[in-house]
């Protein structure tokens, strides 16, 4: 199993979206000890908070409209501060895209672990979303690739496998994906292997 290096949060920034409360104070103290520049915010985040590295929010009283982004699409890791385990509140927290949590009342520790897990989960979700988007693009452009293969087969009398190899070689030489290369061909040259010859 690959060992994940212990993160260092010094110099990072965080916003704690929570009404004035002992829990807010406890979280801010822990963030400060970790070298994180943190500030409280209530009743809503500002557009400037989009630059924060983390947002920790009150899962018990937070509501739709407090975040300046679409629900479920936070631009940074979210950590939910959970006091109530009511199913409806937990569903709402998950719908916001939280990838870490901390139980209230907040003790003298726990923020570091919550941030590590939240950042890891956030990075994994971003990576998964990027892979899905890539697969969707490839699927959408499949007809373009098929047309390029058929064109080359007709022009050169090649088999399907040989035509695909020609296109793949040309795409690699141009440092483009096969789909991007075929899109370029559809908009310009009629020879699906033109890029391979340095044209």
- pLDDT tens-digit series, residues 124-145: 999 999 999 989 988 998 999 9
Domain boundaries, the chain: 13-128, 137-187
Selection from 141, 188, 192 nearest residue 170 by Cα: 192
Q: Which spans in the chain are helix H?
A: 22-33, 87-95, 111-140, 142-156, 160-173, 178-187
**Confidence (pLDDT) at 55:** 98
CATH number for the segment(s) 137-187 = 1.10.10.10
**Confidence (pLDDT) at 186:** 84
Q: What is the pTM of this model?
A: 0.75
pLDDT in tens, 73-92: 999 999 999 999 999 999 99
Report how far apart the first and last C-alpha atoms of the chain are (Å, whole number): 46
| Range of weakest confidence among 16-20, 160-164, 187-191, 192-196 | 192-196
**Confidence (pLDDT) at 118:** 97
pLDDT at 112 exceeding the cut of 70: yes
Give the architecture-level CATH label for domain 13-128.
Answer: 3-Layer(aba) Sandwich (3.40)
| Range of weakest confidence among 32-36, 79-83, 149-153 | 149-153
Question: Are residues 80 and 54 in contact, defined by beta-carbon separation less than 8 angstroms?
Answer: no
């Amino acid at each position: 199993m690959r060992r994940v290096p212990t993160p260092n949060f010094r110099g990072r920034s965080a916003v704690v979206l929570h009404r004035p409360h002992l829990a807010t104070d406890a979280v801010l103290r822990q963030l400060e000890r970790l070298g994180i520049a943190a500030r409280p915010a209530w009743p809503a985040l500002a557009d400037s908070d989009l630059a924060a590295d983390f947002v920790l929010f009150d899962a018990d009283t937070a509501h739709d409209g407090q975040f300046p982004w679409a629900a479920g699409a936070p631009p940074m890791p979210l950590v939910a501060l959970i006091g109530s385990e009511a199913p409806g509140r937990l569903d709402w927290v998950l719908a916001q895209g939280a990838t870490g949590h901390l139980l209230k009342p907040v003790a003298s520790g726990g923020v570091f672990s919550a941030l590590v897990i939240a950042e890891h989960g956030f990075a994994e979700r971003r990576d998964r979303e990027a892979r899905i988007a890539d697969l969707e693009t490839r699927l959408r452009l499949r007809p373009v690739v098929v047309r390029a293969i058929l064109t080359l087969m007709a022009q050169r009398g090649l088999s399907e496998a040989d035509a695909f190899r020609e296109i793949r070689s040309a795409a690699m030489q141009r440092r483009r994906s096969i789909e991007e290369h075929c899109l370029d061909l559809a908009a310009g040259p009629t020879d699906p292997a033109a890029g391979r010859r340095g044209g």
